[in-house]
Amino acid sequence: MNPDNKSNGKVALVTGAGTGIGKAVALALLREGYSVALVGRRVEPLNEVAKEGGTDRALALPTDVSKPESVAAAFAKVKEKFGRLDLLFNNAGVGAPPVNLEDITFEQWTNVVDINLTGSFLCAQAAIRLMKDQLPQGGRIINNGSISAHAPRPNSAPYTSTKHAITGLTKSISLDGRKYNIACGQIDIGNAMTELAARMAKGVPQANGEIAIEPMMDAKEVADAVVHMASLPLSTNVQFMTIMATKMPFVGRG
């Protein structure tokens, strides 16, 4: 921890920073002394996070990660404000309505792909361009995968497909980033208590057709895990981490 809340000289950018996991991670990074660019579609939640952080090291950047020009503008502001980027947490993500696969509309499919996958690619691409040209060279990218990067929930084809694709993106960034001293890892999260996941505490469909209430964990535990991954020297990388509510129905049958 950073008891004096002083700057550690490092700069992070967090997407989807206005709510949920992104908010928890952004606040944890601010407490650790990072300067943090808060990226999200709505400026009001970003400003609230910046205010809650209680420091002038937070920068709210309303951004649509699915739009190349919006991403480019956000990263240009990071370079202008902070001069470098040490960490990208690719976290922004959405799901589609939980309907039968054959009933998903093209618009619902493309919205999830555009934000979850294309958005992560665009932000990683912009981060690499910054990291390879800065001195000292390098940095770290952490992608938010999901338990869905391993196994689907019922009626989740768009979300699950993108999260499997994130694993491929993580591996490609890890390989292609080596020559620039850029490390890339992935955190796969299961049942953190956020606005998006709150429905699981009320009962969600299971693979056998039943509805069941699932155990949850505090989002702070996820934030602490991301901070740990970020704290490692660039010579060391957590390639994949799975963090989950211990008793959630993931390991095993059913």
The more confidently predicted of residues 203 and 138 is 138
The pLDDT score that the predictor gives to residue 156 is 95
- Going by C-alpha positions, the residue among 32, 2, 237 that lies closest to residue 142 is 237
Q: List pLDDT tens digits, range 16-41.
A: 999 999 999 999 999 999 999 999 99
Q: Name all domains of the chain by residue range, CATH numbers in brackets.
A: 11-244 (3.40.50.720)
Instruction: State yes or no: pLDDT of 141 exceeds 70.
Output: yes
Q: Is 34 in the active site? A: no
The pLDDT score that the predictor gives to residue 9 is 94
Instruction: State yes or no: pLDDT of 206 exceeds 90.
Output: no
Q: List pLDDT tens digits, range 213-231.
A: 788 899 999 999 999 999 9
Of the residues 159, 197, 214, 216, only one is catalytic, namely 159
Contact between residue 127 and residue 140 where contact means Cβ atoms under 8 Å apart: no
Instruction: State yes or no: pLDDT of 253 exceeds 70.
Output: no
Mind giving me the DSSP string for 122-171? Answer: HHHHHHHHHHHHSSS--EEEEEE--GGGTSPPTT-HHHHHHHHHHHHHHH
